[in-house]
Structure 1
Amino acid sequence: MQTATRPAADWTVRWAPRRPAPRHWYHHWRHPKNGQWLSFGRDGRRYVLRFERAATFRIDPVRRRIDIEKGSGLPFDGVTRLLLNQVLPLVAGLSQVVLHASAVRTPAGAIGFAGDSGAGKSTLAAAMCRRGAVLMSDDALILRPHRQEWMVTPSYPGLRLWGAAARAVFGAHDATAARANGSRKYRVDAHGIVPFSRSRVALTGICVLARRPGDAAVRLTRLAPREALVTMVKLSYQIDVADRGRLAPITEQIARLVESVPVYRLQYARGLDRLDRIADQVLHEIGVRAQAGAA
Structure 2
Amino acid sequence: MEPHYYAVFGLTLASDFICDVLELVDPAEAGDVVRVERTTGLSPARAPEFDPYFDIQPDRQYMHWNAVGTFCIDDPSTVRIEPKEGVSDYLVSQALLGLVMSLVLERRGVLCLHASAVSVQGHAALFLGDKGAGKSTTSAALVARGHVPITDDLVAVGQTLSEDETLTVQPGFSSMKLWPDSIEALGLGDEASDRLIHPSLPKVQKRMATPIAEDAVPLGSLFMLRRSDEVSAPKAVRLPPHKALETVLRYTFMARYGETRLGQAHLISHLKRCGAVVSQAPVFELLVPADLTRLDDLSETIEQFVDQTT
Bin the TM-score by the shorter chain: 0.7 to 0.9
Alignment of 1:191-206 (within 5 A): 193-206=209-222
Report deviation, 1:65: 1.6
Structure 1 counterpart of 2:136, from 119, 122, 125: 122
CA-atom RMSD in angstroms: 2.7
Question: Residues 163, 20 of structure 1: CA spacing in aligned structure 2 closer, same or farther, 3 A cutoff?
Answer: closer
Are 1:188 and 2:201 counterparts?
no
Q: Which residue of structure 2 lines up, in the alignment, with residue 31 of structure 1?
A: none
Report deviation, 1:181: 3.9
Structure 1 residue identity aligned to 2:305: E
Q: Which residue of structure 2 lines up, in the alignment, with residue 81 of structure 1?
A: 94
Q: Which residue of structure 2 lines up, in the alignment, with residue 149 of structure 1?
A: 166
Report deviation, 1:284: 2.5
Q: Is the 8 A contact 2:43 2:64 kept in 1?
A: no
Report deviation, 1:22: 9.5
Say which is worse superposed, 231-240 or 257-266, in terms of deviation: 231-240
Report deviation, 1:141: 1.0
Q: Which residue of structure 1 lines up, in the alignment, with residue 299 of structure 2?
A: 279
Structure 2 counterpart of 1:253, from 243, 251, 273: 273
Question: Residues 68, 206 of structure 1: CA spacing in aligned structure 2 closer, same or farther, 3 A cutoff?
Answer: same
Are 1:230 and 2:243 counterparts?
no
Structure 1 residue identity aligned to 2:83: K
* Counterpart-to-counterpart distance in 1, 2:306 and 2:267: 31
SS in 2 for 1:93: helix
* Counterpart-to-counterpart distance in 2, 1:98 and 1:81: 16
Structure 1 counterpart of 2:290, from 262, 270, 282: 270
SS in 1 for 2:112: strand
* Counterpart-to-counterpart distance in 2, 1:237 and 1:71: 24
Are 1:15 and 2:38 counterparts?
yes
- Residues 6-26 of structure 1 show CA distances to partners (whole Å, capped at 9, x for unaligned) of 979422210111336399x8x
Report deviation, 1:209: 0.9
* Counterpart-to-counterpart distance in 2, 1:61 and 1:92: 11
Question: Residues 11, 118 of structure 1: CA spacing in aligned structure 2 closer, same or farther, 3 A cutoff?
Answer: same
* Counterpart-to-counterpart distance in 2, 1:204 and 1:44: 31
SS in 1 for 2:249: helix
* Counterpart-to-counterpart distance in 2, 1:128 and 1:73: 37
Report deviation, 1:148: 4.6
TM-score, reference length from structure 1: 0.82
Report deviation, 1:91: 2.3
Report deviation, 1:182: 5.4
Are 1:99 and 2:109 counterparts?
no
Say which is worse superposed, 162-171 or 13-22, in terms of deviation: 13-22
Q: Which residue of structure 2 lines up, in the alignment, with residue 178 of structure 1?
A: 195
- Gaps (5+ residues) in structure 1? 1-5, 29-35
- Residues 41-85 of structure 1 show CA distances to partners (whole Å, capped at 9, x for unaligned) of 1589421111122111011126x3211011146312221232123
Q: How many residues align?
A: 272
- Residues 131-171 of structure 1 show CA distances to partners (whole Å, capped at 9, x for unaligned) of 12111010111111232521111002211111221232143
* Counterpart-to-counterpart distance in 1, 2:58 and 2:224: 36
Are 1:168 and 2:181 counterparts?
no
Structure 1 residue identity aligned to 2:186: V
Q: Quick check: which one's helix share is greater?
A: 1
* Counterpart-to-counterpart distance in 2, 1:253 and 1:69: 33
* Counterpart-to-counterpart distance in 1, 2:251 and 2:95: 19
* Counterpart-to-counterpart distance in 1, 2:299 and 2:51: 33
Structure 2 residue identity aligned to 1:269: P
Structure 2 counterpart of 1:219, from 227, 235, 247: 235
- Identity among equivalent positions (%) equals 25
* Counterpart-to-counterpart distance in 2, 1:164 and 1:177: 15
Report deviation, 1:175: 4.5
Question: Residues 20, 78 of structure 1: CA spacing in aligned structure 2 closer, same or farther, 3 A cutoff?
Answer: closer
Question: Residues 81, 250 of structure 1: CA spacing in aligned structure 2 closer, same or farther, 3 A cutoff?
Answer: same
Question: Residues 176, 75 of structure 1: CA spacing in aligned structure 2 closer, same or farther, 3 A cutoff?
Answer: closer
Report deviation, 1:270: 2.0
